[in-house]
């Protein structure tokens, strides 16, 4: 018997044709899409949480332009046309 992790179900027969039919089905494809969508959301949330924690610990400055440029350097304004 073949177990599909995405669908959380056993296939009645473990043959290549049954697997192929199952994997090409609408419900299986939706389950695969949902699985990876959820995984991507979890990865994004993890990155947000790590960035927030680093910011709160002072490892990341509030904005890259919050402090004056080093050595008093100024960024020239764009040329007027």
Q: What is the band of 6 on the pLDDT scale with cuts at 50, 70, 90?
A: very high
The pTM of the full predicted model, rounded to 2 decimals, is 0.63
Torsion of CA 35, 37, 41, 47, to 10 degrees: 90
- In order of their start, the domains of the chain are 2-57 (3.30.160)
pLDDT tens, residue by residue, 9-19: 999 888 999 99
């Amino acid at each position: 018997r073949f177990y599909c992790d995405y669908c959380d179900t056993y296939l009645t027969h473990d043959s290549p044709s049954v697997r192929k039919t199952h994997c090409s089905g609408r419900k299986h494809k939706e389950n695969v899409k949902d699985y990876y969508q959820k995984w991507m959301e979890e990865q994004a949330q993890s990155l947000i949480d790590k960035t927030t924690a680093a910011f709160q610990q002072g490892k990341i400055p509030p904005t890259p332009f919050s402090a004056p440029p080093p050595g008093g350097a100024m960024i020239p304004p764009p040329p007027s046309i």
